[in-house]
Structure formats: structure tokens, C-alpha cells
């Protein structure tokens, strides 16, 4: 899947894979990437699809999950506010929420995930194409 850009970012602050967990300690698997952004910046769908989850999601805080078909889903987490509801169809580049620091977060950023049939895959090579 080639994808648009989910947020105007000032860079990646945490990559995909094993890392020291910033709040729980110890090495943990990071199922996505963290993109530095300002509180309240817009978050945008990276591809068209249907919103399958929009709301509170445990450690993810406020989050949106979009199903793009063919087993692919993207997740946008730690949002301050939601811009879509479950069941809505979205286009690539459409506003889905706003950057925040909800859930298990140490500061404003976007946690972005790409999953294929429920398994996390590194999204960093797909962005902005």
C-alpha cells in the first residue's frame, strides 16, 4: 500500500519494532511509528477506506482505525479530538482527528500503525508516496 502523509510531522520520534518503552520500562514491541507534531494539528487518512473504530482505545487513548480492504488497516492514536465516526467512508487526505497526547503517551504526537490481517507491519516505507 502506498500511502499519503497522516500529519505534518517534524520527524519520526520512535520507529517500528523493539524499543525501550517510555512509560512502562523494559523492552517492548512498538507496533507502529511515532511522528512528532503539535497538539491540535490535523491528522489525515493515508488512503481511502471505512472507519471501523473511533473512540477511546485503552493505551492508544482516542484513536481511529480505518479498514482499507484486502486485509489492510491503519490506526491513528493518542488523538486530542476525533474527526470521524465508525461507519463513515473516508478518502485519502481526509481529516480524521487532531494530534494529542491521550492514553499512554508522554507528549503530543501521532502514533501511526499499518496492519495486514491484524499483524503489524512497518509503515515507514509507505508514507508520502
How many CB atoms lie under 10 A from the CB of residue 67? 15
Residue 113 grid coordinates: 500503525
Quick one: CATH architecture of 12-121? Distorted Sandwich (2.70)
Residue 115 grid coordinates: 496492519
Quick one: residue 71, left, alpha or beta (phi over 0 = left, psi -120 to 50 = alpha)? left
When computed from its CA atoms, the radius of gyration of the chain, rounded to whole angstroms, is 13
How many CB atoms lie under 10 A from the CB of residue 22? 15
Return the pLDDT at 109: 95
Phi, psi of 58 (to 5 degrees): 55, -130
Low-confidence ranges of the chain (pLDDT < 70): 1-3, 21-24, 128-129
Return the pLDDT at 8: 87
Amino acid at each position: 500500500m502506498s500511502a499519503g502523509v497522516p500529519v505534518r510531522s517534524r520527524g519520526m520520534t520512535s520507529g517500528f519494532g523493539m524499543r525501550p518503552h517510555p512509560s512502562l520500562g523494559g523492552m517492548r514491541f512498538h507496533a507502529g511509528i511515532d511522528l512528532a507534531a503539535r497538539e491540535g494539528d490535523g491528522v489525515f487518512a493515508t488512503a481511502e477506506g471505512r472507519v471501523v473504530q473511533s473512540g477511546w482505545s485503552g493505551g492508544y487513548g482516542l484513536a481511529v482505525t480505518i479498514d482499507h480492504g484486502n486485509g489492510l488497516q491503519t490506526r491513528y492514536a493518542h488523538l486530542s479530538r476525533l474527526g470521524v465516526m465508525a461507519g463513515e467512508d473516508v478518502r485519502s487526505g481526509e481529516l480524521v482527528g487532531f494530534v494529542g497526547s491521550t492514553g499512554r503517551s508522554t507528549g503530543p504526537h501521532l502514533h501511526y500503525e499499518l496492519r495486514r490481517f491484524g499483524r503489524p507491519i512497518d509503515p515507514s516505507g509507505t508514507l508520502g508516496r
